[in-house]
Amino acid sequence: MSADVIAGPDGTDRCAWVGDDAEYRRYHDEEWGRPLHGDRALFEKMSLEGFQAGLSWITILRKRPRFRDVFDGFDPGAVAGYGDEDVERLMADAGIVRNRAKIEATISNARIVVDMDAGELDALLWSFAPASARPRPASFADVPATTAESDALSKALKKRGFRFVGSTTMYALMQSAGMVDDHVAGCWRAR
Whether residue 183 is annotated as binding a ligand: the answer is yes
| pLDDT, position 63 | 97
- Kindly list the domain boundaries of the chain, sorted by start residue: 39-177
pLDDT at 2 over 90: no
Mean pLDDT value across residues 81-88: 98
Cβ contact 176:33 at 8 Å: yes
Tell me the catalytic residues.
27, 49, 57
Instruction: State in words which class domain 39-177 has.
Output: mainly alpha
Q: Annotate 155-171 with b (16+ C-beta within 10 A) or e (fewer).
A: ebbeeeebbbbbbebbb
Whether residue 122 is annotated as binding a ligand: the answer is no
| pLDDT, position 1 | 59
What's the rounded Cα separation, in Å, for the pair 24 and 36? 18
CB under 8 Å, gap of 24 or more: what pairs does 41-46 form? 42/121, 42/122, 42/125, 42/177, 43/74, 43/76, 43/109, 43/110, 43/113, 43/121, 44/68, 44/73, 44/74, 45/173, 45/176, 45/177, 46/109, 46/125, 46/162, 46/165, 46/173
pLDDT at 184 over 70: yes
pLDDT digits (tens, 9 = 90+) for 100-141: 999 999 999 999 999 999 999 999 999 999 988 888 899 999
| pLDDT, position 116 | 98
The model's pTM: 0.95
pLDDT digits (tens, 9 = 90+) for 137-168: 999 999 999 999 999 999 999 999 999 999 99
3-state DSSP of the chain: CCCCEEECCCCCEEEHHHCCCHHHHHHHHHCCCCCCCCHHHHHHHHHHHHHHCCCCHHHHHHHHHHHHHHCHHHCHHHHHCCCHHHHHHHHCCCCCCCCHHHHHHHHHHHHHHHCCCCCHHHHHHHCCCCCCCCCCCCCHHHCCCCCHHHHHHHHHHHHCCCCCCCHHHHHHHHHHCCCCCCCCCCCHHHC
pLDDT top residue among 1 and 50: 50
Mean pLDDT value across residues 47-57: 94
What's the rounded Cα separation, in Å, for the pair 145 and 132? 18
Percent of the chain with pLDDT over 70: 99
Whether residue 47 is annotated as binding a ligand: the answer is no
pLDDT at 191 over 80: no
Whether residue 15 is annotated as binding a ligand: the answer is yes
pLDDT digits (tens, 9 = 90+) for 5-32: 999 999 999 999 999 999 999 999 999 9
